[in-house]
Structure 1
């Protein structure tokens, strides 16, 4: 097996040496329900008031991560909050300098984040070993990762559009996984098993698969028409989804979603959304639907169980957010009812229970669903001065 040699952060072109943020001990996670009547939304009024004193806009959620229907976290500029009772109570977990861009919590204790120092453009890789109460820099300088995904307290992946990196020590050192030339997005479910969206100039695009850690790649899906600007693969068990992004313009994005329920042996083109602002949808062939959820831009996907998957969608011009859903690995697809909002990000710990962070004109809210996205209940909201 041709694995690349482990190198420290400072040896990577996009990273520099840092301190390990994950301790060997396991501190108790801070996300616990407050006594009834003592942990309602008023607990966070001070945090909101302090922010609104200096800013016109409300605090805003950038990402969320839920381990179950009851337990999870949401974070944004300078804060992280959490619940362990399905949103009946929330508590402030963290307040400080970090502007959380993306968070990854494989358990209720260990977590990692891409975060900037307030308004800085670049992001650092930071980690916590007490559920998010305290954070330490793992990288001393800013990193180039666009996305991270940790599978347990030590193992994880860091992604840029063309390259993938792997860590076995909580992010202190990383090894590069070999991906095909002209990769425009990759996803690994384990060190050996991964997927890549590859552009073949003049020929179209390919979705490639590896089962030996990147030593060899095999063709899983191809098209000779309208190759994507970039792609994102989501995989879990037998389910695989290739989300291919076309052009963007006028608050619109063209995209295609392909689904496989047999690890890439066969595919269904689920969504092919072309727009006036974004042009044609990448790929070719007939699709089940010509529009995605909220008829807008695609957000993130979440895979649950053996055959259920969700895709967030949002339309800034239409002021709507929604999720699309399949319960049979993409053979059928439903765009579920929309709610008001400009942008959305989802976290589904199972096939029925899910959470959605929604940004509005002057609000940022957390919604929960118990019926797989058919209906949503607002559980928490930061509101601006006009609300």
Structure 2
């Protein structure tokens, strides 16, 4: 397989430019956090020959089949999904997909603050080193923003200039679109952070032999104060996100036998008080970290937690997946964690969600030999297949 053949590169560049002009790629669009647009008309899976084209360029390499690694929608119509050497997009809610990029970059995470500017963590083909790359034309062309590999496990750009880079121990900040980064001071033994702006941030901190602390800063990391105290003998790390007055934290316990124990905590008053929403104890992972009565004792798919999203007012979505049961599902709360609903599962091994409202969302699912994109219009209660990367018969 050769992702860099000049003839392919020329064709893709021309196609991408056409798509940008005709389909709206690269045109101004609402923020990634904006509300969803009107529901598109009913349609099919949106393939229209694209799958055959992608697989032809993949040279029929079944040892590394095409796989989605991330999905992100700006609103109900416009979104992208990316994987190992490709990116596709839609401007009509998945009724049709177009190829945006084909080349050397194997995407791990994509982040488009608008429809023109985008950033990604990506490796070269199947390499292990991750690079920060950027685009200013909707994703058809990408360039390295640093010659060296980065330690980031996750990126989050507020706009085309301001962004944050995270690994479990550290947080970095840029104000020039990812060219220069400065390290933000975080507490010792930090194992997960999130900043909603340069001054306001949250950190999950491990106190050896004691448990977790969720700390908060309002002065850009100069000072940190205690927000949540949670005891657990063998803590691992945490996932945090915030929107408005709401803050959600997933505290990870132990893992074993394809199981992970975890707790989900929600605050609707900027961390002044917390509600324990999920406390999932497993045979392989042990007790759920934390204490106090939980709303529910099992998370979505009764499996490992995936990415967590907050949308609208007091709405939380969490994807979960069970390797052993081959199930992927979404759980949700519409009232700041006071009630929680685990929704029906679909077949798969893991998943990534992107919700644009409390009803509209997308799910990229890895199945046994391929991966697929699903859309929901009822907050995850049901899912409709929109695109599948299942190998075609040769």
| TM value normalised by structure 2 | 0.87
Does the 8 Å contact 1:302/1:310 carry over to 2? Answer: yes
Determine the C-alpha separation between the residues in 2 that align with 1:131 and 1:115: 16
Q: Once the two structures are superposed, what CA deviation does each residue of 1:215-244 show, in whole Å capped at 9, x if it has no partner?
A: 111111002333520001111101111101
1:139 corresponds to: 146
**Cα deviation, residue 351, structure 1:** 1.1
1:165 pairs with 2:156: no
Does the 8 Å contact 1:31/1:82 carry over to 2? Answer: no
Q: Once the two structures are superposed, what CA deviation does each residue of 1:63-87 show, in whole Å capped at 9, x if it has no partner?
A: 0110011110000000000001000
1:332 corresponds to: 339
2:89 corresponds to: 82
Q: 1:30 to 1:356 in 2, by over 3 A?
A: farther
Matches within 5 A, 1:310-321: 310-321=317-328
1:123 corresponds to: 130
SS for the counterpart of 1:134 is coil
RMSD: 2.0
Determine the C-alpha separation between the residues in 2 that align with 1:169 and 1:79: 26
Residue of structure 2 aligned with 1:51, choices 41, 58, 81:
58
Determine the C-alpha separation between the residues in 2 that align with 1:186 and 1:33: 35
Determine the C-alpha separation between the residues in 2 that align with 1:347 and 1:30: 25
Does the 8 Å contact 1:29/1:108 carry over to 2? Answer: no
**Cα deviation, residue 277, structure 1:** 1.5
Residue of structure 2 aligned with 1:262, choices 266, 269, 278:
269
Determine the C-alpha separation between the residues in 1 that align with 2:21 and 2:389: 22
Does the 8 Å contact 1:60/1:77 carry over to 2? Answer: yes
1:230 corresponds to: 237
1:6 corresponds to: none
Determine the C-alpha separation between the residues in 2 that align with 1:30 and 1:358: 30
Deviates more, 1:124-133 or 1:272-281: 272-281
2:23 corresponds to: 32
SS for the counterpart of 1:53 is coil
1:289 corresponds to: 296
Determine the C-alpha separation between the residues in 1 that align with 2:168 and 2:287: 22
1:301 pairs with 2:292: no
Matches within 5 A, 1:1-387: 29=20, 32=23, 40-51=47-58, 53-56=60-63, 58-226=65-233, 228-384=235-391
Determine the C-alpha separation between the residues in 1 that align with 2:365 and 2:276: 28
Determine the C-alpha separation between the residues in 1 that align with 2:22 and 2:178: 24
Determine the C-alpha separation between the residues in 2 that align with 1:105 and 1:41: 25
Gaps of 5+ in 1: 1-26
Determine the C-alpha separation between the residues in 1 that align with 2:21 and 2:202: 35
Determine the C-alpha separation between the residues in 1 that align with 2:257 and 2:48: 37
Deviates more, 1:56-65 or 1:296-305: 56-65
Does the 8 Å contact 1:72/1:84 carry over to 2? Answer: yes
Determine the C-alpha separation between the residues in 2 that align with 1:107 and 1:31: 18
Does the 8 Å contact 1:310/1:326 carry over to 2? Answer: yes
**Cα deviation, residue 363, structure 1:** 2.3
**Cα deviation, residue 266, structure 1:** 1.0
Does the 8 Å contact 2:231/2:289 carry over to 1? Answer: no
Does the 8 Å contact 2:235/2:289 carry over to 1? Answer: yes
Determine the C-alpha separation between the residues in 1 that align with 2:136 and 2:255: 39
Determine the C-alpha separation between the residues in 1 that align with 2:268 and 2:214: 15
For this pair of structures, how many residues does the alignment match? 359
Q: 1:243 to 1:29 in 2, by over 3 A?
A: farther
Q: 1:204 to 1:56 in 2, by over 3 A?
A: closer
Does the 8 Å contact 2:210/2:233 carry over to 1? Answer: no
Gaps of 5+ in 2: 1-17, 26-42
